[in-house]
Amino acid sequence: MASTSSISNVENLPPHILKRISREVYEISESPPEGIKMFINEEDITDIQASIEGPSGTPYEGGLFKMKLVLSKEFPAVPPQGFFLTKIFHPNVAKNGAICVNTLKKDWKPEHGIKHILLTVKCLLIYPNPESALNEEAGRLLLEQYDEYSRYAKMMTEIHAKPQKPSTSSSTSIDACCPSSSKSTEEDKDGELLKKKGTDKGKIPSTAAAATAAAEKKKKEKKKALKRL
């Protein structure tokens, strides 16, 4: 996938436009549309990134798709460019992630806000437009073999867009398979705990040793008593 990194436009855009972008970004962060999350770059407010949940009932359901908007120094007279950073099989998304949607092309208006763009991209996941396909294969399958299109789109979603689950540590796996290893680990933890408390574990008598010492003491006391008799 081609790089979609952009040079910061903080110095290129006029203060009133930067103020508008900042206000919109923070408003979306505080009250996000359903299924959309905004990421704020405090150092560069023109670095606009968000994640969109795959709408239910579509091949993208269950996926989390990250995207970004690249603003030019002519913004808002010129529309931003939209890119998916997450790989997706969609007629209107090129292999480099570029998004083709009329809102970012002929239907663009300077008054369109960031929220409007994000909602439009989310709608594009529900209603693809094969007539303006950037991915010709996806567009063809959508029109001619929808089941095949859906199957492939779901597979790509499963591979690239599924939220990562917390991985189980190797020690946990070993403990589950090898109880002795788990016991050793617990003993190590006990040792560390004793060290923290300033106690020398080697000087602590075991229960059996304590019982033996008590029995020996009783024997000695009994012998002394018999001698007195």
Active-site residue set:
100
Phi, psi angle pair for 16, to nearest 5°:
-70, -30
Contact 52, 35 (CB under 8 A): yes
Using alpha carbons, select from 51, 5, 9 the residue that is nearest to residue 28: 51
How far, in Å, CA of 110 to CA of 26, rounded? 19
Beta strands in the chain (DSSP E): 36-39, 48-53, 64-70, 81-84
Question: What six digits make up the tokens of 220?
Answer: 């000695």
How far, in Å, CA of 70 to CA of 72, rounded? 7
